Structures are given as structure tokens and as C-alpha cells.
Structure 1
Amino acid sequence: MKTLPDPLASPPLGLRPMRVHEAGGRGRRSFALFQAARHPGPLVWISPSHLPEQPLPAGLPMGVAERLHLLRPMGETDLLWCVEEALRSPAVALVIAEPQQPLSLTAGRRLQLAAEAGRTTGLLLIPEGGGSAASETRWHCEPAPGREDSTLHHWQINKNKRGTNGDWMLHWDGTTAAFHLVSEAGERQQPAKPAR
């Protein structure tokens, strides 16, 4: 039986275990790779066979390629079946999937039950407007590169069944699980000026 991290002790960008989460936006695959780097154990990435994009081992964060299993089902029905079966497996740490159509409440609930049964975490990379009411959290992820820094990301949690929403800017170079949160303007921790 795998040991689960304490969800209350997880960092602000962590995913609650035994639940299915969603990420949308142009940076959703970066968010998925970030989560893959932070989840120890076997990883399953499920995307439709017709999608030309797929994770390439040489470009993945350190330690992810060795643990990653790619599944390329032919249609949406097969994709959802693969997701459900992977979530039910207690050996899998994280299931990432790219459904192409919005999930019904029934399909979303089935995936949540599968995640609970397998004690596994799921992350669905959804197209715009493709979320399910059954998801635990929904993230909107965008790259935010500047002239001097291409590693900035803007990740927002827009739906959270068990907490508050949030908004983070972070530096993540995509090579390891390490990241740096960027302080909001005016909230940097600077020493106080001496009194005169």
C-alpha cells in the first residue's frame, strides 16, 4: 500500500491525493510535467492517438522519463476507459489525460470514484470550456515569459472544492521539481528601513 502525502501539508501548488483535478490554458502541459516531477512513482500519460504532440523523453524533467508510461487510445471512449483503469491501479502515482470533449457529470464522478479506489491522483488537461463539475480543482495555466526570463509561469486555481482559489507566478525551468514563487509587487520580504 502506498504512503500518501498529507494534503494539508502539501505546498500551494500540490494536488490533493485520491482526487481528479483539471488544468486548462496554454501552459497546461507544463503544469502536468511540473506535477509529474513532484509525484514519486509510476506515471501514466493518456492522450488520443490523433494528437501530434506527445511527451518526448529527452525534454522531460529529471527522473520523469524513466517512470512515464504513454498510452495512445483510438477514441474518446477508449481514452476514458484507460483513465479509469489507470486511476484504479494502486501502483500508479499520477494519471495525466487529455480528453478532447467535455466530461459529463457521470463520467467525472466515475473518475473520482476510481481515484479513491486506487488511491491515485488524476490530472485532466482540458480544452477551453471542457471541465467537469466533478473535478476537485480546476487550474488555468499560462506561460508568462519576459524579455530576460523564459521560465515564468502564471498558474491560477479557479475552482477548489476544499479550499480557496489562488494565483501564483513562479519560476520553473522544467528540468527538476524545484521552483521559486515570485512575490507580488509590494509584498517582497525586505528588511525594514531603520527609524530616524
Structure 2
Amino acid sequence: MHNAAALLSRHPHQPAPQITLGDPEIALRLGRVHELCGQARRTLALSIAAQIGGPIVWIRLDGASEFINADAIAEQINPGHILFVTPAKRDLLLWAMEEALRDGRATVVIADLASPPAMVPIRRLHLAAEAGSGAGACRPLALLLTPDQGGAPGIETRWSLEPAHHTGMDHWTLSRLRARMAPPRDWVMTHTQTGLGPCSP
């Protein structure tokens, strides 16, 4: 049994490492599972992955109608840093994501889904990401891409990215729909020198 002296430390509390997009409020904690939804969810995933860097594992069902065009993303990220995995069944898709997270060598693991998964698979993904954070070379970031407004239970945060080109070319509305420690909020985003970021006030 640990005594009080062993539990206390003089070291200051270290906040969990996270990735941000030009604003401390737009933060995704590493080693956890986050959900990205909305029409431009893949644009958001690419911007996050580009900021972290590779290697990246992108998983989608074999035969899915939508896929990433390597030429189109080359200005954001080197397509050679992305390993595309195309399992034949949804169960294998989530299994592949779990294994990639547990391995701890991919900085970002993305699963492109037709609908949000249930609580139990997400809990398993959280545990795999935690295991990968201790066993591998990095703290992997898990991103679930879901259509419409998402709705996966048990995720760390949920973000939506929608086109807002009426406000200017290359503009989007980023919405924080769910976060454990922060209320919902919207930002108008555009491309900056460091990637996708908030527009100046």
C-alpha cells in the first residue's frame, strides 16, 4: 500500500500534451480518442495530422466511395507519410485502429466511419491509445471521422467543420460540439502559414 509520502511530490503538475490549431481553446489531448464530423471533417483531420507529422495510419472500408487524393493533399502533408489501410468489414476497421494505437508508432490514427461506433469499442480504443503512449515512440492521437453531427459516446472531444465560403475563400466554421472541460463554441477558420487556424478578429 502506498503511503502519503509516496503519493505526494514536489514536482509541479504537468498538463497532458495536446495539439492546438492556432488557439489554446482548439485543443485535442494526445493519447485519447476524438471525433471529427461535418462536411469538411477530412480537411480538419488532414490539418491536424499535418501539424503533428507522420507516420499516420488512415483506415477506411475497402470500396468506400470517398477517398483521399494524394495530389490534392501534397501541399499540406507528404502522402508518403500516410499508410492507408482498407479492411473489408467495419469490425476489422475498428480492430485495425485499436492495433495501430496500441503499437504506439503512428502519431495519428484515423478511422473513416459510416456511422459512430458504440461505447465499448471506443473504450477499447482509449485503452489502446493509453497502452501505445507507454509502449511506443509517441502518444498517438485517435481521430474518428463520422458523418453529419457525429454522436459517438465516450469520446474526449467532438468537433465539426463545415464550409463557410460565403465569408471568404477558404473559410470554414469549426464547432466544438462536446468537450469534457469546455462548453460548445464556434470559430471561423482559414488556412494560415502553420495550417488551419482561426481568422483574425
> What is the TM-score normalised by the length of structure 1?
0.81
Quick one: distance in 2 between partners of 1:96 and 1:137? 15
Quick one: distance in 2 between partners of 1:41 and 1:8? 14
**Aligned pairs (5 A) from 1:87-106:** 87-106=101-120
Q: Over aligned residues, Cα RMSD in angstroms?
A: 2.4
4+ aligned runs moved over 6 Å, structure 1: none
Identity within the alignment, %:
33
* Residue among 139, 147, 169 paired with 1:150: 169
Number of residue pairs matched by the alignment: 178
**Aligned pairs (5 A) from 1:1-196:** 6-7=17-18, 11-60=24-73, 61-119=75-133, 120-128=140-148, 130-146=150-166, 149-172=168-191, 177-183=194-200, 188=201
Q: Which amino acid aligns with 1:16?
A: R
Q: Secondary structure at the match of 2:27?
A: coil
- Please state which structure has a larger fraction of its residues in helix: 2
Q: Is the 8 A contact 2:19 2:30 kept in 1?
A: no
1:103/1:142 CA distance change after superposition, 3 Å: same
Quick one: distance in 2 between partners of 1:26 and 1:6? 28
Report the alpha carbon displacement of residue 15 of structure 1 after superposing the two structures with TM: 1.6
Q: Which runs of 5+ in 2 are unaligned?
A: 1-14, 134-139
What whole-Å deviation, never above 9, does each CA across 1:158-182 have from its counterpart, x for those lacking one? 1001333321101127xx7434422
- Please state which structure has a larger fraction of its residues in strand: 2
Quick one: distance in 2 between partners of 1:53 and 1:117? 31
Q: Quick check: 45-54 or 127-136, which moved more? A: 127-136
Report the alpha carbon displacement of residue 130 of structure 1 after superposing the two structures with TM: 4.4
Q: Which runs of 5+ in 1 are unaligned?
A: 189-196
Q: Is the 8 A contact 1:37 1:177 kept in 2?
A: no
